[in-house]
Structure 1
Amino acid sequence: MFTSSTRSAVIVAVALAALSVSCGTSDKPDTSAPTGTTAPASTTAPASTTAPADQEVGEAPTTAGAGESRPADSTQDAAPTPDTTSVELVRDAFAGLQATLNDSCDAPGNCPYFLGRVYDELQRMDRAMKGDKKGPGHFREPIALIGKLNGALDGDRSFENLKKHQSLLIGTRDQINAWMQGHPDDYR
């Protein structure tokens, strides 16, 4: 007769054997564990929902073709989503830009962060407006203001250059804030 601990050991051994058979179908060797050791098997998920041995948890499924494995292109066959994302992008970018309104270079050591943040939020706003379903023509004025700023900065995002153009940077932010306040449908 088997003891309780023997039965438990047999059940665990059978479960581990079943998992190793279901997960051991990869052509690739397991390189995640050092040589001579094995990685512990997980018994929390049913075998039908476990990822292949060569795929990380949360990673996109792979498709094999002509003997090779590659990540599946998630954008290729993705169903179109409702076109609320472009409105959300503008709204979120505007919220980020507004979050800079009560900050300044007045606090010691804050100026590099503050100017960099204003610059980043303006660039995010520019991308969101250009990608909005209304089209960049709807946002012609704010996009032009950001374009003028970018021209003056000439690709130099260093603190020294942002500080040199601080009045243009903050003025651009304030003008875009005023424009957006006049167009509430673009962020509500």
Structure 2
Amino acid sequence: MSKATNTTATGFRATAVAVLAAAALVSCTQAQTDGGLRAEPSATAPAGPAENADSVENADQAEQAAAEATEEPTAPAEPAPELVRDAFATLQATLNDTCTPGAGDCAYFLGRVTQELTELDEAMRADPKGPGHFKQPLADMKVLFGKLGEDRSTPHLEKHFSEIVGTRDGINTWMQDHPDDYR
């Protein structure tokens, strides 16, 4: 499991624990202010001004705790350089795969290669080295994405089979000449 995945999972667990704690605090506050579900009739009698002020303060604190607990964990200031390595590894996993346009076996393959190229494009743009370092592969992907447009249907992808596979292979060659970007 990658470090980014571990960090994300830990962040989600911490957020879940904080949300549960805030919900319990809200539940306890409500039980104190409205007598809860099984309250004695005398427990639901109107509270005095001092008790109302305490209840409002507790509810405000519970709301604040819940709001803090649901905030997204802050992402690191700089994206991890592993993003390019990981995205390239998944693209490389398609190198021995192919399909025959028109034979009905291209939907998964071309969809996957196109998705892997999209993710590699995003990783290269977010890399601390900057997009200038990845000028050639980013330019190649831009040309491909310009031809593909928004249409990701199988017939459209099959129409651009050569461009998709050629872009994948060209990026693989470029990356092999830049091993510091994926090792």
Structure (1 or 2) with the greater strand fraction: 1
Taking a change above 3 Å as real, the CA distance of residues 146 and 63 of structure 1, as seen in their structure-2 partners, is: farther
In 2, Cα distance between equivalents of 1:122 and 1:101:
12
TM-score (norm 2): 0.61
In 2, Cα distance between equivalents of 1:63 and 1:158:
49
1:155, distance to aligned residue in structure 2 (A) = 1.3
TM-score (norm 1): 0.60
Any runs of at least 4 consecutive aligned residues in structure 1 with deviations exceeding 4 A, and if so which? 106-109
SS of structure 1 residue aligned to 2:131: coil
Taking a change above 3 Å as real, the CA distance of residues 73 and 106 of structure 1, as seen in their structure-2 partners, is: same
In the alignment, which of 131, 136, 143 is matched to residue 136 of structure 1?
Answer: 131
Q: How many residues align?
A: 128
In 2, Cα distance between equivalents of 1:112 and 1:90:
25
Structure 2 residue aligned with 1:72: 70
SS of structure 2 residue aligned to 1:138: helix
Residues 11-90 of structure 1: matches in 2 within 5 Å? Answer: 24-25=27-28, 27=30, 64-65=63-64, 69-70=66-67, 71-76=69-74, 80=76, 86-90=80-84
In the alignment, which of 64, 82, 106 is matched to residue 111 of structure 1?
Answer: 106
Q: Percent identity?
A: 51
Contact 1:98/1:177, CA 8 A, preserved across alignment: yes
Structure 2 residues without counterparts, runs of 5 or longer: 1-23, 32-60
What do the CA deviations read for 1:5-33 (whole angstroms, capped 9, x no partner)?
xxxxxxxxxxxxxxxxx7751549xxxxx
The residue type paired with residue 97 of structure 1 is: L
Structure 1 residues without counterparts, runs of 5 or longer: 1-21, 29-61
* 1:96 and 2:95 correspond: no
Contact 1:130/1:136, CA 8 A, preserved across alignment: yes
Over aligned residue pairs, what C-alpha RMSD do you find?
2.8
Structure 1 residue aligned with 2:170: 175
Structure with the larger RCO, 1 or 2 (CA within 8 Å, 6+ apart): 2
